[in-house]
Structure 1
């Protein structure tokens, strides 16, 4: 991606007369922003205090309250429930797990890592089951996931990925190469191969977040919005751990940090997880004739095998929503809370849309937005509770958080309640990693890494028949 999108490039992008950049996300534009809940009225005591009202915090509260209804639980949220990545993501409820399987296997063995992958598959169905049981309408369609390759290097990499995953918990029916004549057809321009996994569903992410918040509140959980936590302190002597806010301090037996990409805003956490920016655009609804040319009647989620990959879905009202890393990192772990997307990210996503679906080239772009996700230094998610300190956390999902957060919530429930279960034995429990380098090193490193990945994609598009060495170098520098 070029660092700057020219004015001519931006003019070439068809935009709706009501085009909007930012404003949290299209998902909230569609359903409307929720009415804000009251902030924390003053200092208080609870059994469990959760910092962050995204998927991780909401799922944790849900499962804790279901398991032990008498628990006094509070959730503290800087903005409103679902404001962060939970209300801005691509709507992929999938079994993808971002962490290095080899790293987890080093400490726990291959069997537990395979169990973790199978647990991720079960999490897809768990989210769907809870949504149905609790009356959460999140436009869920379990159509699976399709990954396309558009050049020979991507095809070779896709075949390698299928073989690799089948060694780490995917059975042959869980991911496989599609026959070119597969029905229902999805016409992706230039596709030379495609893989399919049934373990994925399309969702409307903001509807899931706001619906889950409603359910959690009805269970008796106190959700305080417009309540910024500035610091989390551990247990010291007889003093309970606490979450400090300008409006008061919440003390609890356990404080659970569920802040994902916003973790760097907490005192002492600046280098814990890198806030990586991801961007999206959504078109106006496409007409029936265009959909006849594209297909996509199965409503599966769609990704590609490029290094700077994209992810897409056909929405419930027949738009194409497509995302990618955009401008991945801002100096000093900064992020734009309103979700505004830089012009070069919009231009790149539109080019990706047209490249994959030429039939949609004239479809006006209705909305662009961005969000942040949390990236640990070794790119491996983690979930942990330290009973001595009274602190717990989960996150670092690296873009695969919709289902991973559900698994995290159930695992945190068991850890907080001191249960020993199949979930608490999974290898991501207790995983720790060093922090990121100080600035300007992490900004320079991020720019170099993603520059290398984009160079690799360009070379592979120019008929390089194998994975570019630039991608190998990027992976080595990043520590993935």
Structure 2
């Protein structure tokens, strides 16, 4: 695979099916004006444009994008449209109170359904099926973690359940937790379809137009300056490459593999239904889904952070991590041992210093991001919230606790490099420690401030 189709299985699938040839849209052709200029044609930027246009079709909206719509995390992720938020409800309650945390949880659950509704309204077929998430507990430690999560989730209105293991569950499972609040979808189909619909409705999307700076009333790009009454910055992990946001976010790589389509007999042994996503309770995160064409798309952490927040195409593919993912998948589901891996890819996601996503608005410039991999749904909530903030509308969304949350900056190098990679090593050690001791990891507790634990 060459060109943009080689960025991920999801983008390649669009080309293979004839749904999208990924031809870049024309760049800006000089200075222009708009009511709103959005930097970044991922899901945050495009959902913001969608809800702004829905509220006022007269608005002149220009979206500028360095590559093509969906080039970043929006076109590479695991396809989990979930109610997960990177900061826990308990940590939000500590800072903002129980009511605020409960409102945030309710908003995230509602957002899963809103993505499906809005995609349908936009005429976007993205294989959206709300099948929930299966979470395997594969040791005594993981079983306790699963039961604790199910018990505590009820306080926030979440409807998780737990059952004992049964034939067909992942190998070694002691039990299974399940949440209904997740949909499986094809992320590139969503972001590319949304871009096409917006463009058809008059929103200008200028690709191959990298922005270099912005301030009140304007965005400077390599192809011209956009003068606009409102500016929205929606670049997620790629903000680490821009001077104004360099230390606001850390680009952490997550990598994925996809198998060839699996026969029905294999799926009968695995037991996952269409629309279901899956994971377990290990510390070094893994995540997967049964795709619409009966593959397993499976990903996880494990790639190291690169000095100076470097983002390069070569970082997207790490053979050592791909091998680890394949071994982990076979360990979960031995029935896939003979299934070939047809695609492997990766990319950076955005991590704020306190692992808490945010939406900001100062009256002229807005932003959203820091999703830590939970962005497929959270981008939609961000887009709706930014649309209200930009238009000066007070709503239940604009008072959610993540609005105008300010995360600390990341430390300068070499502290950032040492801390980020120490956190990665600690998560791997935590899983090994628990396997040896049968007790919750001390390493995970010590390193929790670096790894998003609470």
Select which of 422, 425, 429 maps to 1:455: 429
Partner of 2:18: none
Secondary structure of the 2:425 match is helix
Partner of 1:254: 230
Q: Tell me the distance in 1 between the aligned counterparts of 2:376 and 2:184.
A: 11
Counterpart contact for 1:22–1:368, Cα < 8 Å: no
In structure 2, relative to structure 1, the CA distance for the partners of 1:150 and 1:27 (3 Å cut) is: same
Q: Tell me, yes or no, if structure 1 residue 86 matches structure 2 residue 71.
A: no
Select which of 201, 207, 212 maps to 1:230: 212
Q: CA deviation at 1:104?
A: 2.9
CA deviations on 1:1-37 (whole Å, 9 max, x unpaired) are: xxxxxxxxxxxxxxxxx99999210011111241210
Partner of 2:93: 105
Q: Tell me, yes or no, if structure 1 residue 142 matches structure 2 residue 125.
A: no
TM alignment of 1:120-135, pairs within 5 A: 120-135=108-123
Unmatched 5+ residue regions in structure 1?
1-17
Counterpart contact for 2:288–2:297, Cα < 8 Å: yes
TM alignment of 1:432-443, pairs within 5 A: 432-443=406-417
Q: Tell me the distance in 2 between the aligned counterparts of 1:477 and 1:134.
A: 39
Q: Tell me the distance in 1 between the aligned counterparts of 2:371 and 2:187.
A: 16
Q: Tell me the distance in 2 between the aligned counterparts of 1:339 and 1:450.
A: 16
Partner of 1:286: 262
Q: Tell me, yes or no, if structure 1 residue 384 matches structure 2 residue 360.
A: yes
Q: Tell me the distance in 2 between the aligned counterparts of 1:219 and 1:263.
A: 28
Secondary structure of the 1:230 match is strand
Counterpart contact for 1:142–1:300, Cα < 8 Å: yes
Select which of 243, 268, 271 maps to 2:247: 271
Q: CA deviation at 1:107?
A: 4.1
Q: Tell me the distance in 1 between the aligned counterparts of 2:228 and 2:435.
A: 55
Q: CA deviation at 1:466?
A: 2.2
Counterpart contact for 1:23–1:339, Cα < 8 Å: no
TM-score by length of 1: 0.90
Q: Tell me the distance in 2 between the aligned counterparts of 1:473 and 1:19.
A: 43
Counterpart contact for 1:23–1:338, Cα < 8 Å: no
Q: Tell me, yes or no, if structure 1 residue 203 matches structure 2 residue 185.
A: yes
Q: Tell me the distance in 2 between the aligned counterparts of 1:378 and 1:328.
A: 19
Partner of 1:27: 10
Asked which structure has the greater RCO (Cα within 8 Å, sep 6+), the reply is 1
TM alignment of 1:30-429, pairs within 5 A: 30-32=13-15, 33-170=21-158, 174-181=159-166, 186-233=168-215, 235=216, 240=217, 242-337=218-313, 340-387=316-363, 390-429=364-403
In structure 2, relative to structure 1, the CA distance for the partners of 1:365 and 1:403 (3 Å cut) is: same
Unmatched 5+ residue regions in structure 2?
16-20
In structure 2, relative to structure 1, the CA distance for the partners of 1:227 and 1:20 (3 Å cut) is: closer
Partner of 1:13: none
- The structure with the largest helix share of the pair is 2
Q: What is the number of residues matched between the two proteins?
A: 448
Q: CA deviation at 1:461?
A: 2.3
Partner of 1:6: none
RMSD of equivalent CA atoms: 1.9
Secondary structure of the 2:447 match is helix
Q: CA deviation at 1:469?
A: 0.3
Q: CA deviation at 1:186?
A: 4.4
Counterpart contact for 1:49–1:74, Cα < 8 Å: yes
Counterpart contact for 2:128–2:275, Cα < 8 Å: no
Q: CA deviation at 1:349?
A: 0.4
Q: Tell me the distance in 2 between the aligned counterparts of 1:21 and 1:57.
A: 20
Q: Tell me the distance in 2 between the aligned counterparts of 1:151 and 1:180.
A: 11
Partner of 1:9: none
Q: CA deviation at 1:328?
A: 3.9
CA deviations on 1:229-279 (whole Å, 9 max, x unpaired) are: 11122x2xxxx2x21111111111111000001011112321110011100
